[in-house]
Structures are given as C-alpha cells and as structure tokens.
Amino acid sequence: MADTSWVDILSKIIPVSVITAVGGYLARKFQVEGKRKQMREQLYREISNNHQTLAVCIALVTSVAGIRDGAPFRFGEKLGLNFGVWNFYHGEKRELLFDLNEAGAITRIYEKLTSVVNDDGSGYGHVRGKEALAEIDDRLLDKTLDQELYLKVSSPEARKYAEDLLTGKRPSYRKSLNPL
C-alpha cells in the first residue's frame, strides 16, 4: 500500500469522468471570466476615448470662434467616434455582453453616442453630444459604471477629466442640459 499515490486512492473514490468534468467546468469558468474582464476593459476604454473626443469637439464648436464659423451646424462631420469594440461585442459576442452587471448602462451610453453620429434631424448635434456625455457622467457618478476600471483604462487626459468629475471639481454635463 506504500507504493500507492494519492491520485490512485482518489481515482478509486471518485470516478475519473467526474474529475475530468469538474476540471473542464473550472477551466471553462476561468476562460469566460478572462474574456469578460478583457471585454469590460475594452468597452470602458472605448467609452472613455469617445467621451474625451466628444468633450473636446463640443468645447471647440461652442467656442466663440467655432460659433462664428458655424461649427455647431457641422458638428457630426469628422467627429471621429469609435464603435469597433461595441459593434463586435454587441453583434457576435452579444451573450457575453449581457452577462455584465452594467450591460444596461453601457447599452444606453452607446445609444446616446450613436444618436450623435446619426443625424436624424432632432436638434443640434452638439446638444445630442452633451446628452451622451451627461449619460456617461451620470453612470460614473451613480457608480453604475465601475469608476476604478474607467480611470484605469483611460488616457491621462481622460483620467484627469473623469477625476475632476468624481471629486466635484467640474459639474456633470447634465448641468449644462438643464441649468435650473
């Protein structure tokens, strides 16, 4: 009995098929968690980049020089918002996206961002842009979006901008939509 290893003893108590099934389950679970983490980071990075791009464009078109040149009327031209990550996970990997706790918030954010790009004739583009920014700000403030992850994946400029929001140094874009 001294020559028997613990694996031999364990295999006599628990069938090999059960051990294999449990091992397969655990491997799949770790794999899905890794993909979910990667997806969240990619989506948050894209939201952060779009947020920063939109904030800069709104500042430019609503400046005195921008208004003088009529930039608010051409707001959607060459805006440069990116939807590659969203399109990938909303299309092919849809089931993985909707496993996230914040899936509803992310979907609402992208609906607002899409409305900025798709000029449907309802209002000015820069106002729709402010609505999209207000949605992102609101989700960060109510912690529907993971603040820590958002700050982690943001560029230095976007991180500073988000930190100013979270610490109260700048108001949410919601304030500029409804100043009362």
* Coil vs helix vs strand at 26: helix
Residue 10's pLDDT band, with cuts at 50, 70 and 90, is: low
- Pinpoint the alpha helices (H) of 62-155: 64-68, 84-91, 94-97, 103-117, 125-141, 147-153
Q: For the chain, what percent of residues have pLDDT higher than 90? A: 46
Average pLDDT in the 61-73 region?
87
Phi, psi at 108, each rounded to 5°: -65, -40
Q: Contact at 8 Å (CB) between 39 and 146? A: no
**Its pTM surpasses 0.85:** no
* Coil vs helix vs strand at 146: coil
Residue range 74-126, pLDDT digits in tens: 887 778 899 999 998 887 767 778 888 898 999 999 999 998 888 766 778 88
Residue 26's pLDDT band, with cuts at 50, 70 and 90, is: low
Average pLDDT in the 125-148 region?
93
Look at the chain and count its residues: 180
pLDDT at 72: 83
How far is CA 121 from each of CA 60, 117, 127, 128, rounded to the nearest angstrom?
Answer: 21, 11, 12, 11
pLDDT beyond 60 at 2: no
Cβ within 8 Å of residue 32, ≥6 positions away: 96
Cβ within 8 Å of residue 126, ≥6 positions away: 57, 58, 61, 62, 72, 75
Supply the mean pLDDT for the chain. Answer: 84
